[in-house]
Structure 1
Amino acid sequence: MRLTVWALILAGGFVLGASWAGRELEATAHESKGKGELSIHRAHQISLGPADESFDLRFLDAMILHHEGAVSMAAEALQKSRRREIRQLAKGIMAAQSQEIKQMQGWRLSWYLQAPRDPVMGHEEMGHQMAMTPEMAAAMRMDTNLGSADPEFDLRFLQAMIQHHEGALVMAREALEKSKRLEIRQLATAIVTTQQAEIEQMRAWQKRWYPR
């Protein structure tokens, strides 16, 4: 099973929603439709774009969707994992990221009264904002079925959540470089601190439980 990573932002990457990047992301989602997975390598090619007046809006829309993916996977782990450590981590992820989703949704409503209700991305060639397609939103959310509650479930969860957290770290660090809002910078700092610690914990569990 290939594991999904939504959008690891590389230096020199493409603007989220630019024609090439948008086609790549949508093609990736289309290829994986019905399989519950997206390939990793194409998702590495997307950036949130320049530090313009719409950067924070793009950050909020992308991070809200990304957090929703983490909450979904954590809820699945609560249903299927028998390990106390995984279940405690999943509860923590659900609590923290659900709260951050509500916070970001509140900021979006307060700061961007004229923004469309659907998540947006920038279109580099057209020079304006546009709504994400459902396929792109699903790819950002990283909705994926981690499979049955078999002996390998926890391994699949750890691999998927580590990669998911890594995507959030890259995006949060980009926000620290480009956002001028104190609220966004504080949230990005909290995401980096919390999710880096969780990555280290999950890697330690993976090494201990699945030595290979």
Structure 2
Amino acid sequence: MYKKILVRLILMLAVVGLLAACGGGATQQTGASDSGTAVDEPMEGMDQSEMASGDVPFDAQFIDGMIEHHQGAVMMAEQALEESERPEIRELSQTIIATQQVEIQQMTAWRDAWYPDLPASEGMAMDMGQMTVSDDTSLPFDQRFLTAMISHHQGAIEMARAAQEQAEHAELRTLAEEIITAQEAEIAQMQAWLSEWYGV
């Protein structure tokens, strides 16, 4: 009788042990599943971090865009020095080259100081205006130059106005004000020449 009871106890203990083992396995599997979820979450966090680090500060975008914009103006002005028939345009071109080369150097220095490890951005998502003089030789070069530079200056003014509102660095806001003042005056002069010389 005692042997039967002992056998039953042994069998019951064996069953309990098996159930415990199965439960432990299930717990481990659940743990593995939870671990898998935990791995996914950091990956999502990394993606968000990478996305955040990919956000370029406005000031860097402005500098990158305005440097490229100024380089376009300098190239057009250099072309005018060679091809313009009017001394007024050659004088304006010399002013544009001198002024904007200084501003390029200043913006480059600021970028190096403020964002030394930041790769070059694509600049600002704005209409930068005409970047080259038209090849339409049915019109005089000087007329084409004035039309292109007016459009170009208008693009710079729009960028500068955005900087007045959004730039974090006071130096950029000051530069933006100087760009607006100088280029609005040059636009007025170029429009007057277009009207006087070409009736446009």
Aligned to 1:95: 98
What is the Cα deviation at residue 147 of structure 1? Answer: 3.5
Runs of 4+ residues over 2 Å off in structure 1: 118-123, 139-151
Q: Supply the AA of the counterpart residue of 1:95.
A: A
Task: Please give the root-mean-square deviation of Cα atoms over the aligned residues, in Å.
Answer: 2.5
Aligned to 1:7: none
Aligned to 2:77: 74
* 2-structure distance, mates of 1:95, 1:174: 24
Q: Which residue among 200, 204, 209 is the counterpart of 2:188?
A: 200
* Aligned length, in residue pairs: 145
* 2-structure distance, mates of 1:106, 1:141: 25
| 1:68 and 1:141 in contact (8 A); partners too | no
State the SS of the aligned residue for 1:164: helix
Aligned to 1:115: 118
Gaps of 5+ in 2: 1-54
What is the Cα deviation at residue 149 of structure 1? Answer: 8.0
Return the index of the structure with the highest Cα Rg: 2
Q: Supply the AA of the counterpart residue of 1:183.
A: E
| 2:128 and 2:152 in contact (8 A); partners too | no
Q: Supply the AA of the counterpart residue of 1:199.
A: I
What is the Cα deviation at residue 119 of structure 1? Answer: 3.4
Aligned to 1:174: 162
What's the TM-score, normalizing by structure 1? 0.63
* 2-structure distance, mates of 1:122, 1:167: 11
Query: Which of the pair is proportionally richer in helix?
Result: 2
| 1:65 and 1:141 in contact (8 A); partners too | no
Aligned to 1:43: none
Q: Which structure has more RCO (C-alpha within 8 Å, separation ≥ 6)?
A: 1
What is the Cα deviation at residue 120 of structure 1? Answer: 3.6
State the SS of the aligned residue for 1:79: helix
What is the Cα deviation at residue 140 of structure 1? Answer: 5.8
**CA deviation map 1:41-60 (0-9, x unaligned):** xxxxxxxxxxx970000000
**CA deviation map 1:99-147 (0-9, x unaligned):** 100100010000001111x334589xxxxxxxxxxxxxxx969543543
* 2-structure distance, mates of 1:142, 1:68: 12
- Sequence identity percentage: 48
Gaps of 5+ in 1: 1-51, 124-138
What is the Cα deviation at residue 211 of structure 1? Answer: 1.0
